[in-house]
Amino acid sequence: MADERRLTAQRADGATLLIFYMVALLVVPARFTIAFVPITLPPALFMAMCLMIVWFAAHLVDHLGIAKGRNAVRTILAIYVILHLMTYALATRRYLPIDELSVSDSALIRIVSMAALAVFIADGVRTGDRLSRALRVMVACLTVSAFVGLFQFGLGLDLASYISLPGLRVQDNGYSALESRSIFFRPAGTVNHPIEFGLVCVLGVPFAAHFVFQAKDRGEPVGRWWTALSLLALMAILSLSRTAIIGLVVTGIVMAILLPRERGLPLLGVGAVFLGGASIVVPGLFGTVTSMFSNIEDDPSFQGRTKDYDGAWLEIAKHPWLGRGFGTFLPSKYTILDNQYLLTMIENGYLGLIAFALLFIGAIFAALRARALSRDENVRGIAMCLVAAMLTSALGAATFDELAFSVATGMTFMLIGVSGALLRIARQEADLRKAAEVSPAS
């Protein structure tokens, strides 16, 4: 019987498949695509498409352990996909240049796969322990990417460029892993761009902090989690990205509010000491970071982001409700818009913007609802992390075209799915608790 239980516990489940996706997204350099297909297909996107098939097949039977029934996150994702399909139908009904049509086709596949990934996670990860295990792997994968970024920043050495994987080819995305700002290299880790790198590092910060506290409560070694937390926070700063700095501030505020006072205040104190230490170790860092905000009106980068806003509103007025088509506003053909909300209004209209905003609102609602329902400190801690991560991602979308970057998009939809899974877990826990309270009386 013991051997049978051990085999059952080791059987692959939704969390196992999610871990494979995380490795493909965060450890395999983002510039790699699958070599033997005619379209640009990163390994992580291929994994998401496979999980979409697994999710659909699992819903045809009753013995594979996938959850069924309503879930707030699933409903919002369904609305989001339906509106994308409506936009695609309207855009392809009229004439589209071949270059825009081609990108629109691939963009639709990508967004449907991302939504399916989130639904798979919401339905396929069924217990708090398995969800926690998957999130630990996520933090470990992010730490690997941050370690690569540390070498890029400190030595100007891109370790990712030395990686070669069979069956994959390098896709030139027009970005360099060693861009510079002021006197510093701007690292990109294993992702596509320093802004994206800074954002995904920040998304991992609250989870690393959660596992520090969890390990401490369980009497386990905390050194590896402190290392992960320190490295992720450091690389978020060293990415020299306003998006990352704002994200760190938002994360700190959320953790100060939702964490117990005996944890939140000391953590903020440690963060302040850490920032002071980083400024001493890296001379000129503090001045560079503060200048990004103090001289923002004179910053060519900021001016370049905002000068095209008037033209964007003219494009929105042409197709106000469902947009001109997702992916059709090509940066190489029109202009780069460093604001995902404006870009969404152009490509998906006002209805698409509402659906996009609902993704973040729904994920935050699910996390807060799970926190209210659960008495499990692990579930409540993960809920706090998700609120911080979703707020960070939502604000990040206002500072760059987030859905154009594969890793940022993959992380966002993955965490949306985690919010749905956490809500299911919390509801199941609450139902069991109620049943236990009722059964003695009966």
Sorted by where each begins, the domain ranges of the chain are 13-433
Strand partners, 168: 34
Percent of the chain with pLDDT over 90: 66
Q: Which of 333, 364, 397 is nearest to 97 (CA)?
A: 333
Answer whether residue 180 shows pLDDT above 80.
no
Residue-averaged pLDDT of the chain: 88
pLDDT of 309 > 90? The answer is no
pLDDT confidence band for 3 (50 / 70 / 90)? very low
User: Could you tell me the pTM of the whole model?
Assistant: 0.93
- pLDDT on residue 164: 87
Summarize the confidence of residues 255-263 as an average pLDDT: 84
Angle ∠(360,251,259) on CA atoms, nearest 5: 105
Closest CA to 256 of 247, 245, 248, 267: 267
State residue 63's pLDDT score: 83
Report strand pairing: 178-181 vs 184-187: antiparallel
- Cα–Cα separations (whole angstroms), residue 31 to 151, 196, 247: 18, 13, 25
pLDDT value of position 156: 84
pLDDT at 349 over 70: yes
Residue 258 pLDDT greater than 60, yes or no: yes
CA distance 101 to 106: 9
Average pLDDT over residues 157-182: 78
Structural contact between residues 244 and 194, judged by C-beta atoms closer than 8 angstroms: no
Span 12-41, average pLDDT? 92
**DSSP track, 130-176:** HHHHHHHHHHHHHHHHHHHHHHHHHH---GGGG---TTEEE---S--
Residue 250 pLDDT level (bands cut at 50, 70, 90): very high
Query: Is it the case that residue 65 has pLDDT exceeding 90?
Result: no
Model confidence band, residue 300 (pLDDT cutoffs 50, 70, 90): low
Question: Is the predicted pLDDT of residue 107 greater than 80, yes or no?
Answer: yes
